[in-house]
Amino acid sequence: MAEQVKSNPGNNRSDLRERIVEMANHYFRERGIKGLKMDELAAQLGISKRTLYEVFEDKETLLVACIGQNQRNAELYMQEVLATSQNVLEVILRGYKRSIEMSRNTNSKFIEELHKYPKAYEAMMNRHHKDTQQTIDFFYQGVEQGLFRKDVNFPIFQELVKNWMEMMLTSDILRKYPFQDVFESIILTSLRGISTEKGTKLLDEFIVELKKTNIRD
């Protein structure tokens, strides 16, 4: 007689947690933080509000979980980028591109409302500081590879790039011009200014490939 397989409550709870985070992430990006209603989320998942609160005690706990999942996805993406990129310049460019595209697909209310949730805000800022330092480290690797000039203050340059990307997202420039043109004019042109002759050549080659794929991985 075949042995009957028993369900594992732990696995069921883990699966439910993943489903909740996935759908909540969608709502947070689409509507902002306040736009997510816990009762509506429960209804969409086909569970009771009580069950939802048994998994996540409040909205901020759920928000922190969503930020954590996004961070893990970003880390997986960077692992793929590091494994498939030809040089550190390509790593930096693909990282910038993903940051811009992710921000474009997120309601601006999300960032505006985030500071009202201290634990979530701290988690986001910790990730931001980690990403910033990682990018700066990539720049120094680029110097060692002969791609970037040695006389550049990379922490300042990275801060400028961050401000440029925020401008791209908050102004109407992306409604006036194609994303690829804006990306090339601002990010790629600024990188050209800190690149060596070797780095400029690789940058030009990357731009050619970028246009072929319409800056989509």
| Ranges of residues in the chain whose predicted pLDDT is under 50 | 1-8, 215-217
CA dist., res. 210 & res. 216, Å (int): 8
Q: Quick check: is 5 in a domain? A: no
Q: Quick check: is 184 in a domain? A: yes
Q: What pLDDT is stored for residue 79 in this prediction?
A: 94
Q: Which amino acid is at 102?
A: M
Q: What pLDDT is stored for residue 32 in this prediction?
A: 93
The token pair that represents 8 in the structure block: 């594992």
Q: What pLDDT is stored for residue 167 in this prediction?
A: 78
What residues contact 22, with CB distance under 8 A and at least 6 apart?
Answer: 69
Q: Quick check: is 2 in a domain? A: no
Q: What pLDDT is stored for residue 177 in this prediction?
A: 82
The token pair that represents 30 in the structure block: 């689409």
DSSP assignment letter at 195: B
Q: What pLDDT is stored for residue 169 in this prediction?
A: 64
CATH number at residue 14: 1.10.357.10
Q: Quick check: is 4 in a domain? A: no
Q: Quick check: is 71 in a domain? A: yes
Number of domains in the chain: 1
Decide: residue 45, CB within 10 A, 0-12 exposed, 13-18 middle, 19+ buried: middle
Q: Quick check: is 69 in a domain? A: yes
Q: What's the pTM value of the predicted model, to 2 decimals?
A: 0.76
- Supply the range of the domain harboring residue 34: 10-213
